Amino acid sequence: MASNRFVAFAIVAVVLPTFAMATEYFVGDDEGWKVGVNYSEWANGKVFRVGDKLVFKYGSPHNVYKVDGNGFKECKPSGDVYNNGNDTFILSEQGKKWYICGVNDHCEKGQKLVINVESDGSEPVPAPVPAPTPPKPAPVPASTPPPTQTPPSNDSYRIISSCYQIFVAAVVAMAVAAF
Ligand SMILES: *[C@@H]1O[C@H](CO)[C@@H](O)[C@H](O)[C@H]1NC(C)=O
Ligand SMILES: *[C@@H]1O[C@H](CO)[C@@H](O)[C@H](O)[C@H]1NC(C)=O
Ligand SMILES: *[C@@H]1O[C@H](CO)[C@@H](O)[C@H](O)[C@H]1NC(C)=O
């Protein structure tokens, strides 16, 4: 009962923050997606994480292309066009993501966005894995000498003492026999 409740709590504790921390970013905030907004300024200081959403809101002349670094630099649209005016991208993996408007020279005029998506924070958990490696060499030399050191001293003590007992017993026996 108690352990079931604990497991349920643990699951909630692990899963809940993942949802709670997902953020929906409206590109350009109230300005939306258009010519005349500095999108590097908009992105500046924001932390985008895996699981967050990027929403492009805009009116009729514009659209969105998700391009690569080159397409961003050269304002070259490629791939699918998104043009419903409320285009939502779920940031599903880490790394740089580039978005441009493919209409006329809008991209050249600055209607382009580059962001860097960071880990959702659940990934630092594997980090402690390298830690167990260094302690490994320590137990090997540490545990090997004690077993070899301790038994001999005890064993030899035991052997010596039992030899002594036999010797004493023999002396006693001889003494008894002498009478
Ligand atoms: C946009 O803002 C950044 C600073 O956040 C600045 O370096 C850059 O020159 C600006 N771009 C334009 C086109 O004004
Ligand atoms: C726009 O997309 C967002 C995110 O998917 C959604 O929450 C919102 O309801 C949409 N708005 C409209 C007007 O479609
Ligand atoms: C074995 O040796 C250790 C250290 O010399 C000693 O402390 C311990 O009492 C000994 N044990 C026996 C059973 O003689």
- State mean pLDDT over 77-90: 96
Residue 2 has pLDDT above 80, yes or no: no
Measured distance CA(98)–CA(107) in Å, rounded:
11
- How far is ligand 3, taken at its centre, from the CA of residue 155, in Å? 9
Tell me, yes or no, whether 88 lies in a domain: yes
- 84 in contact with ligand 3, CB cutoff 6 A: no
State in Å: Cα 164 to ligand 3 middle.
18
Q: What is the DSSP string of 115-176?
A: EEEEP-SSTTTTTTTTTTTTTTTTHHHHHSHHHHHHHHHHHHHHHHHHHHHHHHHHHHHHHH
Q: Write down the H helix ranges in 28-83.
A: 39-43, 69-74
Average pLDDT for 84-106: 96
Its domain, for residue 161, covers 139-178
Ligand nearest the Cα atom of residue 45:
1
Q: What is the CA radius of gyration of the chain?
A: 37
Q: Which two tokens stand for residue 49?
A: 């994480």
pLDDT digits (tens, 9 = 90+) for 142-174: 555 555 454 556 676 666 667 677 888 888 888
Query: What's the pLDDT at 45?
Result: 93
For residues 150 and 135, the model is more confident at 135
pLDDT in tens, 28-81: 999 999 999 999 999 999 999 999 999 999 998 999 999 999 999 999 999 999
* Final residue of a structural domain among 118, 147, 170: 118
Identify the CATH number of the domain in which residue 108 sits.
2.60.40.420
Q: Is the CB of residue 84 below 6 angstroms from any atom belonging to ligand 2? A: no
- 6 within some domain: no
Quote the ligand 3 centre to 163 CA distance (angstroms): 18
Which ligand has the minimum distance to the alpha carbon of residue 88?
A: 2
How many structural domains does the chain have? 2
pLDDT at 176: 80
Flag whether 57 is in a domain: yes
In a domain, 109, yes or no: yes
Residues of the chain with pLDDT > 70, as a percent, come to 65
- Per-residue model confidence (pLDDT) at position 117: 95
User: What pLDDT score does 178 carry?
Assistant: 76
The pLDDT mean for the chain works out to 80
Say if residue 34 is in the same domain as residue 95.
Answer: yes
- 43: CA distance to ligand 2 center in Å? 20
> Considering only CA atoms, which residue is closest to atom 9 of ligand 3?
154
Instruction: Specify the pairing of strand 81-82 against strand 112-118.
Output: unpaired
Least confident of 92-96, 105-109, 136-140, 162-166: 136-140
